[in-house]
Every structure is written in C-alpha cells, then in structure tokens.
Structure 1
Amino acid sequence: MDFSLNIKQELKLILTQEMKLSLNILEMSSIDLEKFIEKECLKNPLLEIDFSSKSYKQKGDDSEDLSPFDFISEEKNLIDFLEEQIGFLKISKEMRFLCNFIINNLDKKGFLSISRDELKSSCGFPLKYIDEAIEIIKTLDPVGIGCKNLQECLIFQLHKKNIIDVKLEYIINNFMQELASLKYDFICSKLNITENDLKKYLKIIQSLNPIPSRGFYMGDTTTYIEPDAEIKNLDGRYIVIMSNKNIPKLKLKSLENHQDITGEMKSYFNSALNIIKCIEKRQNTLENILNIILEKQYSYFSNPKEKLNSLTLKDISAVLKIHESTVSRAIKNKYILTDRGIERIKDMFIINNKKIFIKEKIENLILNEDRENPLSDSEIVELLKKENFNIARRTVVKYREELGIKSVYKRKLKI
C-alpha cells in the first residue's frame, strides 16, 4: 500500500457568469445582439432603449431614411447549421473545438480549400487529429461538405449512393472541363464509349450537388447584411468607422432614490450595468481588431488591384495581448463595408498570400495544358521562372497535391 503524499497542481479557468456573458455578446452578430438587447429590456425593468439615438430606428418607423440594410434575413447560415450538428455528436471538447475551427475555414461553396498544414499552423493540433476532424465534418449534412474540391465532392456523393463506377469517376476527375464545353465526341473517343453511355453518366452527375453550401448562401431571395463597420476614405486616408445602426443604445432608467436599489432591484441594476459594459467592450474589441486589419491590409483597401497580405489570428492577438479565440469570436459572422463592397471580416485573414497566388498560377497552367501531353512538374517550374517565381520542383509537387491535382502520368489521357 502506498501512503505517500502526492501534491498535484492544476490550473483551471473558471468562467464567471459575467465572463460568459461578455464572450457571448462578443460573438453575436449585429442582428443577434439587437434581438438580445430587446429581450433583456423586456426582462429587466431598469434597462431601456434610448430611441433619441440616431444610430437606431424603432420598429415601425416610417422614416424616409430607412435603408434596405434595416431588413436583414434571419435565414440560418451554413456555419450555424454545421456547428449545431457538431453539438449533438459524442466527441471530446477538443475535437468539438477543432471541428468548429475547421468549419469556420470552409470556403463559400462549403469546400475545405486550405491545406492540412495550413490548418495545423493556425490551430496547433497534430495532423492526425485534423484528419479525424475532417472525416467527422464529412459525415454532416449537406453531403459533400468539407471535401477539398468539386471532384472529391461529386465522387463522395456517388459513394454515399453506393455508386461505384471507375469510368464515371474517371470522367469526373479528368473531363469536367470538356463536359462543360459540350465536347461529348471528344470524351466518347477517349473513353471508347457510346454517346448514350455518356448521357447516362451525365444524368448521374447532374443529379449530384456541385455546391454543398447551396440552399444556405444561394437562393432566390435577397439577403441583406448589416456591416458592423466601414473602411472609408476621409481626406485621402482610410479609417475605420464603427456602425451602430442596428445596435440599440442602452441606458439605465433614472431612479428618484438610489436607496431603492435593494434586493431583487439590486440584481437588476448589476445585470443592466454588466450588459452595457459588455456591449461597449464588444465594440471596442472589434474596433481595435479592425484598426490592425486596416493597417496590415491597407494596400488592399486603398488599391482595387492589390491582393490581401498574409495575416493570421495570432498576429492580431499578439498586438492586442488577447487570446486567439477572443479574436475569432469577435470577427465571427461580422462584416465590413469597403470600396469593394460588403466583405466578411474573416476573409481579411490569409495565411500565405504568395503561396495562394502561386497555387492559382499552377492550377491555371494545368487547366490550360494539352490533355494528351500534360505539363510535368519540372516544366511548371520553368514556366513559373519566366514569370519571376523561383520555386523548387518539390514545392510545385506539394502545391499541386494540395490542389488535389494528380501527377502528370495520371493526368495523361490513355484510354
């Protein structure tokens, strides 16, 4: 029997109700915050909305100043739908966090277009956990979510329908461009199949969903978004202007005698003060983040021909001395108005701008290659050198594989 005394030191973060409220408010979109404020005003007799503020219009106001942005779609977005499904799965907290992190890095079509290594450098999880999380995400609805490109998405859907056909998969992997151009004779000759066979394959492909996010971000109805801030040119210099248009201005009801603040009323008083403080903190945090984004991406906002520079959550957190998760919460479901239009704040972050630009070059070179005499990796290196991009062959191989493009031997049409 062991009667020795073992002392174990643990560091635990215990979130108070105030801290939880602050984090929740930080994460809310403008429309969610508006609903939250109106709900709290009904519950708390000491809270009231200051309708004298020009930044917020009372419901039913027929003012001519009404903007279409005052009417925001309440349609559930794809990210919320996926995170809701993750919440029902019996997985660890760490895996749930990782799944949600990856979900928030899907592109507009619902594809996971960034590489595993980029995810690892952003979240710090080992690749085996990232792979596990990706497989979990692929089990969610809509089918095809989390696939890296169109080809993988379509083939994934085929397998879900128990359709296993080598030639059909070969068409999807190699002839999507020819299908789109209606070059049916060319495909039939290369695959040695009849036009009727091709039409059957085409009918199956058309039954699949090429855009997993369809139904969430695309539709017949117009969706209006209220920007949380504007990047505006004033006197030749771009600055951040915060928008409080859809955020009701809160104030405490005046009390004749402060001694009345006892018992239950004291609880209402403290709750009201905390809500007002949390909303102010939300706005200040978001404004600080946007000011750094503007500084780092100034050329992008000031020149329509410029692209985004490399920028990560870690860069922002290091400057503001706050956790990366706080930055992530603050920018979630939030938008800015720029000279280019309304853009998601999340889209202002990019891990490696030069890398993405070179990958686009590689993809375009391969898309326009001779299908019977495709480009080798060495040939791609030489073509890139002519455009002053000096990268090694192994880098081209790495980027090509991240794009989901097969080697020259597998791309060559040999039927």
Structure 2
Amino acid sequence: MLKQNLQQKLLQKLSPQQIQFIKLLQVPTVSLDTRIKEELEENPALEDISLADMNEPVEEYPDKDPDDDFKSEDREENNDEFNVDDYLQDDNINDYGSKYDNNDDDDDKKELPYAVTNTFFENLQAQLDLVDLDDKNYLIAQQIIGSLDDDGYLRRAIPSLIDDLAFSQNVFAEEEEIEEMLKVIQAFDPAGIGARDLQECLLIQLRKKDTSNPFIEKAISVVEDHLDEFTKKHYDKLEKSLNVDSEGLKDIVNEILKLNPKPGDSGASNVKQMQVIPDFHISKNEDVLTLTLNSKNAPELRVSKSYQEMFQHYEKTSEKDKKLKEAVQFVKQKLDSAKWFIDAIKQRQQTLLKTMNAIMNYQYEFFLSDGDERNLRPMILKDIADRIGMDISTVSRVANSKYVQTEFGTFLLKSFFSEAIQTDSGEEVSNKEVKMILEECIGKEDKIRPLADEKLTEILKEKGYNIARRTVAKYREQLGIPVARLRKEL
C-alpha cells in the first residue's frame, strides 16, 4: 500500500568550501607545499606569484611584440578566429601550464653523493655464492633466504617451504634437506640469522662464541632451559638453578644482554626518519614572547589574470552557442575553484595563528621558563576552543598535526595539553608535572630494589599529590616504564 508523508528534517551539511578548509587545516607544513602544487597542476586559473614571475616564456621570435596578444584592439579583431573546440580539447593550453611543467627546478637540482651499501639480503646472497653447493641445494638455500623477514627470522614452516619450492622452482625437497641448508645459512653473518624463534637466535649467537668460557656455558644453559625466568627477571630462581652467586649471575646475564635479538636489523642501511618542519616559531626577548607563522604556510597565490580576461570576454559576447556556453562554464568553474582555494589557505593561516596565539598566552609562563614542565598549566581542547570561539574539533585538527619551534626545542602542539591534578592545598597542576616527578623518582631509585607502584604512590602523596595507585601505574605505562620487577638489575 502506497502512502505519502510530508516530513520536515533539519540537516547540517558541510559545503565544498568548508570541506576543503578542513582538509587543508589538518595538512602539516611539510605536506602543504605538495598539496599546493597539486592544486596548481589541476587548476590553470590558479597561479603562484613567485613562479609566475620566474617562469616568463622565452619568445622564439624576438621581433614579435610580446604585448600583441594582450592588446584590446587585436582581441576584438581576432574574436571570430578563436576556436572554442581547441580550448575545450586541451585544458592545459595556458601560459602557466607550459611554463610550470618545463621548469620544475631541474636546472637547480644538484647530484649529491650518497653511500652505496648492500642490503641485508644481498649480503646473505653474497655469502651463499661462496659456498660450494649443487644446483638443488643452492635453490633451496635461496628460497630460505628469500623467506626470512626483516628481523632475520625464518617464520615460515618447513612444510610450507617444501611446497614453495615445488610450485615456484619445480624442486622436490625433503624436510631433512631443508634443515641441512638452514644450518648452512645459520652459519652466515650476522650471527643469529635464520633462527625460527628468539631462543634459537640467542643460542646460535652464544654457540659461535668461546664455549670454553664458563660464563658462556652457563649463558647457553639459561637460554636453553631457563629463558622464561630470565625474561621475567626471576634472578633468585636462576641463582638456585645455576648454583651461582649474584656476581656470577650478573656476568652471565651481561653475556646474554650483549646478543642481538634482531640480527636482520644489523644489515639495514638507511633508516628513514619523519621530517618535521615547524609550523610556528616562538622567540623570546626578555619577558616578551613573539609568535610567527612559518612562511611556507603563507604562499603567494592569485587568480590568473588571463582567465579573468577570458571570462569577461566570453560574458560580453552577444552570440552564445552551446560550445561557447560550455567554455564559459568551464572557465567560471576554474575561477571559482581558484578563489575558494585561496580563501581556504588564508582562513587556514588565520586559524593557525589564532589557535597558537591562544595556546602561547595560556602557557605563557611555560614558554618564558624555557620549557620547565612545572610551569605547564592544565589545559584541555575546550579551554582553547572557548578562547578563540571555535569548535573543539578545529582545535584538535591543529593540535594533532602542527609543531612549534622554540629556543628549547620543537614540540607537537598536542604535548601542551594535559589533564588537571589537584594537590592537597587545592591547587590544580598538570599531570605532566606528576609524570616528571614520577620519572625522577624511578631514575634515582636503587635498581637492585626498584620502587613498586605502592611505594611511588606514597612518595607522591608525601609531595602533596594525592593520586591513586592505579593512576600511578597508568602514568608509568604512558612513560614507557616497566613494572618494578622488570626494572631490577643485579
């Protein structure tokens, strides 16, 4: 049965401009330049002033007047000669597009010398080539090397390797043959390579050492028979099992601690680190703080004059056929898109400065004291959102992806936010201050008898911080500090 109902709904929808602003706001400075270049490539009506001045076209015919194409008289005479089809077929026929693509700073690029090193797997292959093997064993060994993970472990089961060899190499191998070739690879450098678990990895390394050394012999016994007690630091049980005193156990443990649990990492060449470009700079002159925005956040963009003139010319044309209307619509769309993007960039700059200025003023004493966390006030997203009259989600987008450079280091804005802890005197302090004191207490503790969470709670209460033991445990875990038993040293 069909029915008709009249309903009234109140919906909140973001406009395309708002969506574009939100996306730009959460882009960090290191990625903003790439995002702007993408927009410049997609929209020929958008220009970068610095690039537009640098990339003036070189005329092939010097005798030609460069202003001829822009004289109004010539434009009026050539109106009938302008072919809209040609324009619609190639969106990139414009001064900017041809100049930008041809001058992508290729002339300024310099080749920098860099170290050429073999990868982890290339080193193993080089060692394999030195071993005298027949074709079948060589292929088996190659398959094993290719099955190692980045840590140097063989996580793949032997039956699976047999199947891999049969399907990929047409080699039919027995389990004993795989085991034999695995032992060959486990003899390669770095020591511990080709192990199937941590225990086997440590044993391979220990057995390559001087086993006549009594400490090495005892270390092998620990790894082979008492690895669980060792990892959990039950040193008293180990002393009884090995029949050694604390000093002897200390030497044995030191031998084990020298081993590499991830031998594959030793072959890694270049470790990529995330590049951080600060979005803000805070400088201090006596008791006055000055906030500046990174210049990369303020690109000099403008709407293309040639596109504006083109649109005005189309609008004044009396006769408008279908193709001309399509051309007018295309140009208008590109012009609007360029204006929206420029407005979004400007709004981004204003929001960044407004938010960071509020954070700086809220934490003024912290920045003046060169980052003394005791002066860090408790601050949540709502505190800043209320000050700048914006939504909490906007402040969150800024705080989670932006960095500020100060005279005492570069920090993520999120690190300035913290919860409040009330002291015995009724004063509210940042939980970061409590974490700092907690870290100091653990750093100064006797490692033979490390402080348990209950004892740390008592110390904090003596200092005026009345917090529960479970809160102390939470803060300790956030600091990446293990429990007392695992901090114990001999």
Provide the TM-score with structure 2 as the length reference. 0.48
CA–CA distance in structure 2, aligned partners of residues 217 and 170 of structure 1: 36
Deviation digits for residues 321-375 of structure 1 (CA, Å, limit 9, x no counterpart): 3332222223443222222233322323233464333234334434544456554
Contact 2:280 2:294 in 1 (8 A): yes
2:20 counterpart residue number: 21
CA–CA distance in structure 1, aligned partners of residues 284 and 446 of structure 2: 47
Pick aligned residue for 1:341 from 383, 405, 409: 409
> More helix by proportion, 1 or 2?
2
CA–CA distance in structure 1, aligned partners of residues 458 and 13 of structure 2: 57
CA–CA distance in structure 1, aligned partners of residues 6 and 198 of structure 2: 56
Return the letter of the residue paired with 2:280.
A
The answer to whether structure 1 residue 322 and structure 2 residue 390 are counterparts is: yes
Contact 1:188 1:198 in 2 (8 A): no
CA–CA distance in structure 2, aligned partners of residues 343 and 391 of structure 1: 29
Deviation digits for residues 154-198 of structure 1 (CA, Å, limit 9, x no counterpart): xxx979x9xx9995465455599xxxxxxxxxx974599696676
CA–CA distance in structure 2, aligned partners of residues 288 and 166 of structure 1: 62
Q: Deviation of residue 24 (structure 1)? A: 1.2
Deviation digits for residues 260-295 of structure 1 (CA, Å, limit 9, x no counterpart): 363111101110110011001111111110011111
3-state SS of paired residue (2:411): strand
3-state SS of paired residue (1:231): strand
Q: Deviation of residue 46 (structure 1)? A: 1.9
Q: What does residue range 37-116 of structure 1 map to in structure 2 within 5 Å?
A: 37-51=36-50, 60=105
Pick aligned residue for 1:358 from 434, 458, 473: 434
CA–CA distance in structure 2, aligned partners of residues 361 and 14 of structure 1: 47
The answer to whether structure 1 residue 264 and structure 2 residue 330 are counterparts is: yes
Gaps of 5+ in 1: 64-156, 177-186
The answer to whether structure 1 residue 252 and structure 2 residue 291 are counterparts is: no
The answer to whether structure 1 residue 399 and structure 2 residue 453 are counterparts is: no
2:464 counterpart residue number: 389
CA–CA distance in structure 1, aligned partners of residues 406 and 263 of structure 2: 38
The answer to whether structure 1 residue 230 and structure 2 residue 229 are counterparts is: no
Q: Rg larger in 1 or in 2?
A: 2
Q: Report the CA distance shift for 1:167/1:30 in structure 2 as closer, same or farther (over 3 A).
A: same
CA–CA distance in structure 1, aligned partners of residues 245 and 3 of structure 2: 80
Question: Which one is further off, 284-293 or 21-30?
Answer: 21-30
1:291 counterpart residue number: 357
Q: What does residue range 70-219 of structure 1 map to in structure 2 within 5 Å?
A: 168=227, 171-172=230-231, 174=233, 189-190=245-246, 199-200=255-256, 203=259, 205=261, 215-217=271-273
Gaps of 5+ in 2: 54-102, 109-196, 202-222, 236-242, 316-327, 421-428
Contact 2:418 2:431 in 1 (8 A): no
3-state SS of paired residue (1:51): helix
Contact 2:297 2:349 in 1 (8 A): no
Q: Report the CA distance shift for 1:401/1:25 in structure 2 as closer, same or farther (over 3 A).
A: closer
The answer to whether structure 1 residue 311 and structure 2 residue 365 are counterparts is: no
Q: Report the CA distance shift for 1:170/1:22 in structure 2 as closer, same or farther (over 3 A).
A: farther
2:189 counterpart residue number: none
Return the letter of the residue paired with 1:252.
V
Q: What is the root-mean-square deviation in Å for CA atoms of aligned residues?
A: 4.9
CA–CA distance in structure 1, aligned partners of residues 22 and 279 of structure 2: 17
2:148 counterpart residue number: none
Number of residues paired by the alignment? 294
Pick aligned residue for 1:280 from 346, 349, 359: 346
Question: Which one is further off, 228-237 or 373-382?
Answer: 373-382
3-state SS of paired residue (1:45): coil
Identical columns (%):
23
Deviation digits for residues 79-113 of structure 1 (CA, Å, limit 9, x no counterpart): xxxxxxxxxxxxxxxxxxxxxxxxxxxxxxxxxxx
Q: Deviation of residue 398 (structure 1)? A: 2.9
Return the letter of the residue paired with 2:333.
S
